[in-house]
C-alpha cells in the first residue's frame, strides 16, 4: 500500500481565510456519534467550498485506551478515529445526511510518517486536518447522499505527518433494517471451550479491558474482554464496529509475531460484509517481514481483509 503526499490534490494546510480554526472545545458529541464527551477529538470544521474542508482535532496525551508512547508519540489509531469523526460530521453538517442515518465503513486506510509525527510533552497535540470529499453517491433522482469518499492529510506544528482515507455508505433506518435482515450473520452465542485471553503486555495495550482477542486451540478469535468498553463500545451497536476490527487485527498481529509487530505505521482494511458480535470471528494473520496480512472470517465467510505495515 502506497499513499503519496499529493494524493487527491491535498497538501499541507495553509491558514484559512476569516476566523482561524479553534481547539478550545469539542464539537457536539452527537455530531460524531459519541455518547461520552471525553471521547470526542474533533473541535472545529471549516467549509472551503468545492468539497474541501479544514478541521481541528485535539489528541489528548492521557487517552486511557490509546496513551502516548514513552517518547510522547500518540497511538496511530488516533488517526483512524479522527477520520471516523470527520466522516460523520462532514456528511451530516454539509451534505444533508440525516443525523440518525447508519454509517457503514466500506474501507479505511492511513499512513504515518514517524519522522514528522507529533510528540506531546504536555497535555495534548493540536491537529490540523485538510479534507476532500469525492465519489459522492446519491439515491434515486439524486435527492439524497448515500455515500462518499473522504481523504484527509493531518499536520501538527506546521508539519504534515499523516494521510488517511475511507469510503462510507449512509443508510436510513428502513434500508438499514432491510440490509440487516438480508445479512446471514449467526447471532447465537457460542462458548469457546479453551479460550485463553492474552495479557495486555503481549498486545501492547494498557489494561485487561482493552484486550479484544482470545486464543482457543491455536485459533485467534475477536472476543472483546469488555463489551461496554468506553472507547470501542461507547454506544450500542448490533455488529462489530470498524475500529474494533482494525484494533483486533493489530492485536492478533502482535500475538502472532510474539510482540515483534505492535505499532503499525500504515494500514488498509476493507469491510466486505457485517462482522457480527456472535459467534466470535476468527482473525487470521500472516506476517511477511514488516508487513502483516489479515482476514476475519465468521461461519466460514470472510467479513474483512486488510494489511498492516510496520517499520
Residue 1 predicted with pLDDT over 80: no
State mean pLDDT over 16-28.
85
Lowest mean pLDDT among 30-34, 70-74, 266-270: 70-74
Lowest mean pLDDT among 111-115, 207-211, 214-218: 214-218
Q: Give the Cα separation of 67 and 73 in Å (integer).
A: 9
- Whether 188 contacts 169, CB under 8 Å: no
**What's the pLDDT at 62?**
85
In this prediction, residue 9 has a pLDDT band, given cuts at 50, 70 and 90, of very low
Which cell numbers in the block locate residue 148? 462518499
Average pLDDT, the chain: 90
- Whether 149 contacts 165, CB under 8 Å: yes
Lowest mean pLDDT among 11-20, 65-74, 89-98, 241-250: 11-20
Condensed to tens digits (0 to 9), the pLDDT of residues 44-68 reads 999 999 999 999 999 998 888 887 7
**What's the pLDDT at 4?**
30
State mean pLDDT over 143-170.
97
Q: What is the DSSP string of 173-230?
A: HHHHHHHHHH-----S----TT-BPPPHHHHT-SSGGG--EEEETTEEEE--S-TT-T
Condensed to tens digits (0 to 9), the pLDDT of residues 126-141 reads 999 999 999 999 998 7
Lowest mean pLDDT among 184-193, 202-211, 215-224: 184-193
**What's the pLDDT at 70?**
77
In this prediction, residue 6 has a pLDDT band, given cuts at 50, 70 and 90, of very low
Which cell numbers in the block locate residue 206? 494498557
Q: Give the Cα separation of 260 and 72 in Å (integer).
A: 20
In this prediction, residue 15 has a pLDDT band, given cuts at 50, 70 and 90, of very low
Amino acid at each position: 500500500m502506497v499513499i503519496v503526499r499529493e494524493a487527491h490534490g491535498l497538501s499541507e494546510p495553509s491558514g484559512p481565510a476569516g476566523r482561524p480554526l479553534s481547539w478550545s472545545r469539542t464539537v457536539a458529541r452527537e455530531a460524531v456519534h459519541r455518547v461520552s464527551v471525553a471521547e470526542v477529538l474533533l473541535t472545529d470544521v471549516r467549509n472551503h467550498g468545492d468539497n474541501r474542508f479544514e478541521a481541528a482535532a485535539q489528541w489528548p496525551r492521557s487517552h486511557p485506551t490509546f496513551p502516548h508512547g514513552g517518547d510522547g508519540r500518540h497511538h496511530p489509531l488516533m488517526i483512524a478515529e479522527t477520520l471516523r469523526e470527520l466522516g460523520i460530521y462532514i456528511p451530516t453538517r454539509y451534505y444533508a445526511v440525516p443525523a440518525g442515518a447508519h454509517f457503514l465503513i466500506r474501507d479505511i486506510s492511513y499512513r504515518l510518517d514517524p519522522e514528522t509525527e507529533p510528540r506531546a510533552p504536555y497535555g495534548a497535540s493540536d491537529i490540523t486536518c485538510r479534507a476532500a470529499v469525492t465519489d459522492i453517491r446519491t439515491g434515486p433522482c439524486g435527492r439524497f447522499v448515500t455515500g462518499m469518499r473522504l481523504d484527509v492529510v493531518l499536520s501538527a506544528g506546521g508539519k504534515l505527518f499523516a494521510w488517511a482515507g475511507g469510503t462510507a455508505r449512509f443508510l436510513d433506518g428502513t434500508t438499514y433494517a432491510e440490509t440487516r435482515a438480508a445479512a446471514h450473520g449467526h447471532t447465537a452465542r457460542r462458548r469457546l471451550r479453551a479460550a485463553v485471553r492474552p495479557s495486555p503486555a503481549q498486545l501492547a495495550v494498557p489494561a485487561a479491558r482493552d484486550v479484544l482477542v482470545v486464543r482457543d486451540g491455536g485459533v485467534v478469535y475477536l472476543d472483546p474482554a469488555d463489551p461496554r468498553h468506553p472507547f470501542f463500545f461507547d454506544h450500542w451497536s448490533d455488529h462489530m464496529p470498524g475500529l474494533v476490527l482494525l484494533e483486533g487485527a493489530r492485536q492478533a498481529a502482535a500475538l502472532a509475531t510474539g510482540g515483534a509487530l505492535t505499532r503499525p505505521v500504515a494500514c488498509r482494511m476493507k469491510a466486505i460484509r457485517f462482522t457480527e458480535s456472535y459467534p466470535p470471528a476468527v482473525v487470521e494473520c500472516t506476517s511477511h517481514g514488516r508487513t502483516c496480512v489479515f482476514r476475519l472470517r465468521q461461519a466460514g465467510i470472510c467479513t474483512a481483509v486488510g494489511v498492516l505495515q510496520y517499520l
